[in-house]
Structure 1
Amino acid sequence: MDVFDILDRLVAFPSVAGKPNNDITGWIETHLAEHGTKVTVLPGPEDDRFNLFATIGPTDVPGYILSGHMDVVPAGEPQWSSAPFTLRRDGERLYGRGTTDMKGFLAATLAAVPMLAGLRLARPIHLAFSYDEEVGCRGVPHLIARLPELCAKPLGVIVGEPSGMRAVRGHKGKAAARVIIKGRSGHSSRPDHGLNAIHAMSEALSAAVSEAERLTRGPFNSAFEPAYSSLQAGVIAGGQSVNIIPDSCTLDLEARAIPGVDPASLLAPIRARAEALETDGFTVEWMAMSAYPALSLPQEAALAGLLRELTGEAPLAAVSYGTEAGLYQAAGFDAIICGPGDIDRAHKPDEYILTSELAACQRLIEALGARCAA
């Protein structure tokens, strides 16, 4: 199978984050096994979702991990011009959910396996495919925890998120949380008999706005746009009718932090303001939704030098979106981003990848294999 056949099969699996993924995992496992690749399927605690780890070459020698996620975001937008889970080719464009984010990278990696398997690799190349990246990088921590028993400590991890095949050394960290405030309902004509949860939530919302403004004053890191950490309230919901005192209100928040700043710490002032409302009779629930650390690979790192040689371009300092690379680095492994496609095409109707981008990615992986065989 060539890269286009593989991508066609991968896109056909509607592997939406948060759903069972045994179908796509099983297909990849079978495909790899056909080429004599050692494959380990790793069940997550959900019991219906799986990570996959495969090795080409020796397991007891340090090598490189090619990392990607098998899940995609939903494709319910009405603006799709064709079925999102059916690959459609139009010239150089290949349309379908996940083509860019990031089944294109998975396809290029799997297409390179026969060539890699035919080499006598002195250093291994590992494939690490995760689940539920799109809902907060929930699957990959379980995979990372198993790495010591699966392989020697890797020399580096290449995370194939769409970067136009330009290596990237950094990204911000992120934390998201939900605060739920519960009061007491009643008729709006007697506000003294109820506890208005929306009014109470205004305290937490005000704290979020104040913290967001404060962060614009630094600290700064010029590699990022914007150059400072940020915070926003993204979703707020509550109430039933204008003449009913709302007894519940929910607020979703996220913080994005430059390297050196814990993203969860940026949400702490909002949590403190919300929980203080309990003294007024409200019930407050704080739920961490997702979190991953920033990535900051030094310019002089050997992995950055390797990607400079393989791509012919110096790695970019940073991008605005986040990836699983920060989690690999937090676990003690050098990590870098490099993959086909453009992040601006992701999470949109008519997502697509270019045939030339797939070819470039497969060439890079095969060139990495040639290095490992030297």
Structure 2
Amino acid sequence: MMGESLLEPDMTPEAILADLVALADLPGVSNARMAGCIRAHLARLGVECTVLPGPEGDRVNLFATIGPRDVPGYVLSGHMDVVPAEGQVWASDPFRLRAEGGRLYGRGATDMKGYLACMIAMVPEFLAMDLRRPIHLAFSYDEEIGCRGVGHLIARLPDLCAPPLGCIVGEPSDMVPVLSHKGKQAVELVIEGRAAHSSQPDLGVNAIYPAAEVLLFIRDLAVRLASEGPFDARFAPAHSTVVAGVVRGGAAVNIIPDRCAIQMEVRSVPGQAPQDITAQVLARLEGLQGVRVSHHELSSYPALPPPEDRGLAELLERLTGKAALQSVSYGTEAGLFHAAGVPSIICGPGSINRAHRPDEFVTVAELAACCAMLRGLGQVAAG
């Protein structure tokens, strides 16, 4: 029955989550410990895990399949990395799971190791179901710094399995299916002038002044997007946005600054690529006179548009018992799966409001609800 659990005591999501939280693998560095832990859990269950090295050389994606690979099935996808806890004040060690009052505290407990723990914990039940359609487990790296890892995994999907029927990205959504989110691109703009003593400013080229022109252009572009659109009422705000978030320039007040850097971010509604908005800023940057300019991308992912076919949404509504939410303000890897032709939806345990904060937690009840949803998916796949 859908509500019954066959989980062994040492294979509960709580026990697995404790193992995962103990590994502080951050984005941008090796994830060998986390990947090794997940591989070990799957190996104990007799499940082969494909290791997909990224181009960085020290990071990997993981992919495993329960059921037939040559039949279309479902992908469960989550990222292995977490944001740092440095500089935050926690009531306990953020990398040691603490249980209190039905809550499980630890870095990544809700974003999104809780979902990973449920994926792994459900493997014995999936194996027992004799699935007619496969359930794939996808574990990615470096999501927290711009979804950098999962694209390499997605590129390998044709070699790994038949075209999937759908992908459930388990970002924390209070177990509410989420249909769409905005796209994003973050870019650093660099303006270089020439240093000089402040008593002789004519001998230098002040990089901050032209940077200010770019900042004002970004401000005015944001106003134009808000007034002219395009608009999509399913989002709040209902238009694309652009902001300058970081400005760095100058070393001392008596030195003409020879460099200024601006970090800017675009979040765009479906149908408008964030790169198209960034391109307007880059054109203004290139138009600056008397300075050297450059730029590089910090992070990027496409929007997840609302589905044209509601089949996957209706399935998740049935499995969770909750009506789908049209959109969220945060971004996920679901946009990349969608762009690759895989119907995708967001649904996972925990709340996004707890993510990245001190004393991050997921509840035992939320993990149980996630396992119940996955159990139902397995029953659908068993046909």
Which TM-score band applies after superposition, normalised by the shorter structure? over 0.9
Show the counterpart of 1:348.
Answer: 357
Amino acid at match of 2:88: P
> Mapping of 1:288-307 within 5 angstroms?
288-298=297-307, 300-307=309-316
Matched, 1:235 2:246: yes
Matched, 1:61 2:71: yes
Q: In the alignment, is the contact (CA less than 8 A) between 1:38 and 1:56 conserved in 2? A: no
Q: In the alignment, is the contact (CA less than 8 A) between 1:297 and 1:336 conserved in 2? A: no
Matched, 1:21 2:46: no
Show the counterpart of 2:163.
Answer: 153
Show the counterpart of 1:272.
Answer: 283
Classify the secondary structure of the residue corresponding to 1:344.
helix
Q: Measure the CA separation in 2 of the matches of 1:248 and 1:141.
A: 33
Q: In the alignment, is the contact (CA less than 8 A) between 1:37 and 1:117 conserved in 2? A: no
Classify the secondary structure of the residue corresponding to 2:312.
helix
Q: Measure the CA separation in 2 of the matches of 1:199 and 1:84.
A: 43
Q: Measure the CA separation in 1 of the matches of 2:37 and 2:177.
A: 29
Report how far residue 74 of structure 1 moved. 0.8
Report how far residue 123 of structure 1 moved. 0.3
What whole-Å deviation, never above 9, does each CA across 1:341-370 have from its counterpart, x for those lacking one?
000100111111111101100111111111
Q: Measure the CA separation in 1 of the matches of 2:284 and 2:303.
A: 26
4+ residue stretches of structure 1 with deviation over 6 A? none
Given the alignment, which residue of 263, 274, 284 partners 1:252? 263
> Mapping of 1:91-170 within 5 angstroms?
91-170=101-180
Classify the secondary structure of the residue corresponding to 1:170.
coil
Amino acid at match of 1:166: V
What whole-Å deviation, never above 9, does each CA across 1:291-346 have from its counterpart, x for those lacking one?
11100132642111111111112211110100000000000110000000000100
Report how far residue 222 of structure 1 moved. 0.8
Q: Measure the CA separation in 2 of the matches of 1:77 and 1:87.
A: 19
Alignment size in residue pairs: 372
Show the counterpart of 1:89.
Answer: 99
Classify the secondary structure of the residue corresponding to 1:305.
helix
Classify the secondary structure of the residue corresponding to 2:319.
helix
Q: Measure the CA separation in 1 of the matches of 2:54 and 2:309.
A: 36
What whole-Å deviation, never above 9, does each CA across 1:56-111 have from its counterpart, x for those lacking one?
00000000000000001111023111111111111111111100100000011111
Show the counterpart of 2:4.
Answer: none
Q: Measure the CA separation in 2 of the matches of 1:196 and 1:283.
A: 11
Report how far residue 26 of structure 1 moved. 1.0
Q: Measure the CA separation in 1 of the matches of 2:306 and 2:78.
A: 18
Amino acid at match of 1:36: G
Report how far residue 251 of structure 1 moved. 0.5
Q: In the alignment, is the contact (CA less than 8 A) between 1:297 and 1:334 conserved in 2? A: no
Given the alignment, which residue of 337, 347, 352 partners 2:346? 337
> Mapping of 1:167-178 within 5 angstroms?
167-178=177-188
> Mapping of 1:33-52 within 5 angstroms?
33-52=43-62
CA RMSD of aligned residues (A): 0.9
Classify the secondary structure of the residue corresponding to 1:295.
coil
Unaligned segments of structure 2, at least 5 residues: 1-9
Q: Measure the CA separation in 1 of the matches of 2:27 and 2:366.
A: 25
Q: In the alignment, is the contact (CA less than 8 A) between 1:328 and 1:334 conserved in 2? A: yes
TM-score (norm 1): 0.98
Unaligned segments of structure 1, at least 5 residues: none
Classify the secondary structure of the residue corresponding to 2:255.
coil
